[in-house]
Structure 1
Amino acid sequence: MSLNRNKLYPLLGLLPFALLIVGFLLLPLLNMIIQSFRAEDGIFGLTQYITIFGDAFYLQAIKNSLTISLISSTVAIILAAIGGYSISRLAGKGNRIMVAITNMTAYFEGIPLAFSFVILLGNNGLFTLLFSQLGLNNFYDFNLYSWNGLIVVYIYFQVPFAIMLLLPTYQGLKDEWRYASNLLGGSQLAYWRHIALPILFPGLIGTYTILFANSLGAYATGYALLGSTYNLLPLQIGSLIAGDVFLQPNLASALGVVLALIMMLALWLNGSIMRRVRRDLR
């Protein structure tokens, strides 16, 4: 009886968390899936999905979201790999300061981030006016309210987030391995190719997948910066459930299912690559 009670008490402690998961994650997800198969007249079918994949406008939204996610995630993982390694090599107070700064900026996104970029690089932003005063307009041709501006903002909030995810991976590299490689006549390139990169690769791939999903579902930053002027999948979902003109919650649910399926596909690819890497390292 005591053994059963010892098992029961931890389960009772997990009950509030289970209720939270069911009430705020599973039930809304189930409702979204059901509503995605409901037409505007209430009849169940594939009407919403036919609309999505038969309309060039929604296909463009999917393409644009995939494009900006791939570009921002690729650039961010490269910058984060370099920056994370540099931070991991710092010792003492310098390491603690950089980790604290990175941790703080990793959660600086959404509307505050977009507002900060507007203040600094908008049409009347601080740096824009400064470059104009210095007569550097010919060298400074950057439009924040454009596709390139949106990519820069996405990269900005992706880099510190990726560094925080990569730091534990870099801490797994031991200096003894480098010393052993040098003693055996291995070059720096050989160390990175045969020792460091195989160890870091699973963490890099996992972080890249998280960055891709994070940018694919980002809504507040793009909406605060560009409104509805650019066709992105999260912005279209938001406009269909909270727009001023057309409200189509069932179509928004179908778009949400498509977004979730893309994320699940990315996670499945990540898992497949991870299993292959672990098998090759054995």
Structure 2
Amino acid sequence: MSRFNWRPMLVLIPFLILIGGFELAPLVWVLINSALSGDGQFSLANYQQIVASPFYRQAFEHSLIISICSSLIGLLMATLGCASLRHIPGRLRNAMLAFTNVTSNFVGVPLAFAFIIILGFNGTITLMLRHLGWLDSFNLYNTTGLTLIYSYFQIPLAMLLLYPAFDGLKTDWEESASLLGAGRCHYWRRIGLPVLTPALLGTLIILIANALGTYATVYALTSGNYNLVTIRIASLVSGDIFLEPHLAAAISVILMAILVGITLINQKLIQRSYHVS
């Protein structure tokens, strides 16, 4: 029996230290503190308070609605965009991908400021459309407006995630399907979409997680006055009046549980898609 070589394992030590110190340790701290009361006793009072409070339930409702809607919009637009990029010449395609990479990183305070000066109450496009009589009730600072802003950075992120999957589609498949009498719609329904389903579902989960964790953009836009989960967590750990880190930890645990649940559902759907295809 060959002797186990421990030397390659030494390379993993810095990685394990990094994972333990910056991911596992904070996670354990959040889990423990979510079950502590103000006097340091173990209790489920924080979770009971969240479930019983309409205010916190509304925060989760707003976060899920905006995240799911913006993720679906981003996934739809990115799917159409990636399908179109496959038919664009190389240099133009590379330029579009570079532009997509830049826009996917344009988030936070600069993005909020850009939307304020363009689509705010006195934004350039808002005043123009209002003057033409085409826009009367649009509000950038409500659920619809935030969904629009989230979609801005969800679309390029989805395109960057989906493009390798679309690039893996062989032109021979479509040509072979055409020779066998299959139309374009039939090809996408029977071949293209089943092949892309795992990538589409995986991208959707990443988009939802990305939207649920967004904080800087919505805070800069609304000054923390819109009820979202990330805003509530931040206000509980850095508020000017009351600091409730244990309650913030409980909200974080529920948010993580939602993400874990969505991921498990995604894995089940991916397994089914592989089985069907």
User: Which interval holds the TM-score relative to the shorter structure?
Assistant: over 0.9
CA distance in 1, matches of 2:71, 2:112: 18
Distance 1:239 1:4, change over 3 A: same
One of 156, 159, 181 as aligned partner of 2:177: 181
CA distance in 2, matches of 1:29, 1:47: 20
Deviations 1:119-157 (A, max 9, x none): 22223323234445xx22x21232222221111001111
One of 254, 258, 262 as aligned partner of 2:258: 262
CA distance in 2, matches of 1:221, 1:98: 24
TM normalised by structure 1 equals 0.93
Aligned ranges 1:235-274 → 2 under 5 Å: 235-274=231-270
One of 129, 140, 143 as aligned partner of 2:135: 140
TM normalised by structure 2 equals 0.95
CA distance in 2, matches of 1:278, 1:184: 24
Structure-2 residue corresponding to 1:279: 275
Deviation at 1:231, TM superposition (A): 1.0
Deviation at 1:109, TM superposition (A): 1.1
Structure-2 residue corresponding to 1:199: 195
Query: Would you say 1:162 and 2:177 are equivalent positions?
Result: no
Q: Which amino acid aligns with 1:259?
A: L
Q: Secondary structure at the match of 2:86?
A: helix
Structure-2 residue corresponding to 1:89: 87
Matched residues, number: 275
Deviation at 1:4, TM superposition (A): 5.2
Structure-1 residue corresponding to 2:23: 25
Aligned ranges 1:3-18 → 2 under 5 Å: 7-8=6-7, 10-18=8-16
Structure-2 residue corresponding to 1:152: 148
Deviation at 1:14, TM superposition (A): 2.4
CA distance in 2, matches of 1:22, 1:117: 39
CA distance in 1, matches of 2:3, 2:83: 47
CA distance in 1, matches of 2:64, 2:128: 35
Structure-2 residue corresponding to 1:39: 37
CA distance in 2, matches of 1:116, 1:13: 45
CA distance in 1, matches of 2:245, 2:143: 27
CA distance in 1, matches of 2:19, 2:32: 19
Deviations 1:75-116 (A, max 9, x none): 111111101111232221011100100111111112221111
Calculate percent identity across the aligned residue pairs.
44
Tell whether the 8 Å contact from 2:62 to 2:143 is kept in structure 1 after alignment: no
CA-atom RMSD in angstroms: 1.6
CA distance in 1, matches of 2:9, 2:108: 36
One of 194, 198, 221 as aligned partner of 1:225: 221
Deviations 1:143-197 (A, max 9, x none): 2222211110011110000000000010111110111111111111111111111
Q: Which amino acid aligns with 1:229?
A: N
CA distance in 2, matches of 1:223, 1:258: 21
Query: Would you say 1:190 and 2:214 are equivalent positions?
Result: no
- Structure 2: runs of 5+ lacking an equivalent: none
